[in-house]
Chain A
Amino acid sequence: GAGVSQSPSNKVTEKGKDVELRCDPISGHTALYWYRQSLGQGLEFLIYFQGNSAPDKSGLPSDRFSAERTGGSVSTLTIQRTQQEDSAVYLCASVQDRDRDGYTFGSGTRLTVV
């Protein structure tokens, strides 16, 4: 596709349930990032995939968060046993190689935990 696609655009879930957020990056982009933006906060780095290298998971806030990237393309961010503090907009970005000007963000998934 022409841009980064994220689904769902909105998700409301009950506390304690698991959720999966999906990101379809731009075809051919080698790197994929997940960020989240909580209310009144900036974009918080979560995890980074670059090619076939081991992902940089240093931003994941707890072991309830995990992500995978299958076939170097689609990525899924999974949050287990969701908590209210997980409510945020989760943004995915992809970029070709290490072009620091070239991050393309999706529109995000707004997650609300009730």
Chain B
Amino acid sequence: DQQVKQNSPSLSVQEGRISILNCDYTNSMFDYFLWYKKYPAEGPTFLISISSIKDKNEDGRFTVFLNKSAKHLSLHIVPSQPGDSAVYFCAASAGDKIIFGKGTRLHILP
């Protein structure tokens, strides 16, 4: 039973354009959501987070949007850069454990 779902295994975006990565969740007890970025042969690194009391959090080129009624969140990257090519994991927490999705591989095209 997948509690955090990333339905797009991969996404290709032109450099300079906006990348939008989507995530759905099923557990209404989740109160904190995160995005992690992972390069090959490295561990995931924290990117941005959002509390369930907010609907938007912005950090530089990265913005996370949360729609609680739809149990949906998205990560916007604008403008997309070559170094953004990586696997992005959506994650959610209802306490001390963080549950991760399967990831979306983002390719930034030159």
Contacts and interface: CB of A to CB of B under 8 A. Distances in A.
Interface of A: 4, 31, 33, 35, 40-45, 48, 50, 56, 91, 93, 98, 100-108
Contacts of A93: 43
A66 B42 CA distance: 24
A50 B97 CA distance: 11
Nearest to B90: A42
Which secondary structure dominates where chain B touches chain A? Answer: strand
Contacts of B100: 35, 42-45
Contacts, number: 52
B96 interface: yes
Contacts of B32: 100
Contact of A107 (B34, B42, B93, B98): B42
A29 B2 CA distance: 29
A105 B45 contact: yes
Given A42-B102, A100-B32, A31 B96 contact: yes
